[in-house]
Structure 1
Amino acid sequence: MLFSALFLGSAIGHMTQTKAMAGYASARGVPAAAAAVFGSGVLLLAAGLSVLLGVWADLGSLLVVVFLVPTAVLMHGFWRETDPQARQLEMIQFQKDMALADAGLMLFALIAHTGHDLGLTLTGPLFDIG
């Protein structure tokens, strides 16, 4: 539930503060920043609800990864920073995004492997790696 809450809160922010977030995304070189911010908010909402409600939670966890890996690279490219403090802050954000992506992959594997035996989902997994 806590894992989902992080992404649901972020989804709300993406969809209610699109203009402000798009300015930051645009400064980072994201093309069509407003559409990307709003679209990623929808993606996060779908992923967070999927994991929280246990409806194809394996797919939801993969959607989290689909959001986090490009976000880490595009938005938190610490290697582009010349200021040591800015580099450190971006490195922390990059590592956080990658760690959460790894958690999403682990959740995917757990759900896709155990299927209905896990007992925490409303539907079975969409993928079967058992």
Structure 2
Amino acid sequence: MDVLVLIGRLLFIGLFAASGVNHLTQTKAMAGYAASRGLPLAVPATVASGLVMLVGAVSVGVGLWADIGALLLAAFSFSVAVLMHGFWAEKDPQAKMMEQSQFFKDVSLGGAALVLFAFFAYAGHDLGLTVTGPAFSLG
């Protein structure tokens, strides 16, 4: 069971880890996109979001207060869904469909991160293959 949970955690964080690295190594391009979506202070927001993704991904991946890492990833995902993928404001049908797909992807990832938070906060001390137990306890 422990190995299965570890594999699932690692597969889940892959997107966040890769995107976090991209936010920090391709900041200008990522910030340009953020600015085009109307996000103020696009460069600092891009760096901050990259750090949030990396910290959350490492936390969940290695099991270092993974419940807090999962909350970080949930907060990031829900924020990005609303701030960056406002499909409701798109006029072009193709752009609207693309943004709607991205919106629901981010909402789904946020939902999965909330499930991971609850899982760690409930059963975290009983899980192997983690560095620490959870910071919160729901059990």
Give the TM-score range, shorter chain: over 0.9
Distance in 2 separating the partners of 1:121 and 1:102: 22
TM-score (norm 2): 0.91
Count of matched residue pairs? 130
- Pairing 1:110–2:119 present: yes
Alignment of 1:55-74 (within 5 A): 55-74=64-83
Structure 2 unaligned spans of 5+: 1-9
Are residue 94 (structure 1) and residue 136 (structure 2) matched?
A: no
**Cross-structure match for 1:25:** 34
After TM superposition, give the deviation of residue 4 of structure 1 in Å: 1.4
Structure 1 unmatched ranges of 5 or more: none
Quote the residue 1:120 is aligned against. 129
Runs of 4+ in 1 over 4 A off after TM superposition: none
Residue 54 of structure 2 corresponds to: 45
- Per-residue CA deviation, residues 5-30 of structure 1 (Å, 9 max, x unaligned), is 11110110000111011111011111
Per the normalisation by structure 1, the TM-score is: 0.97
Matching residue's letter, 1:118: L
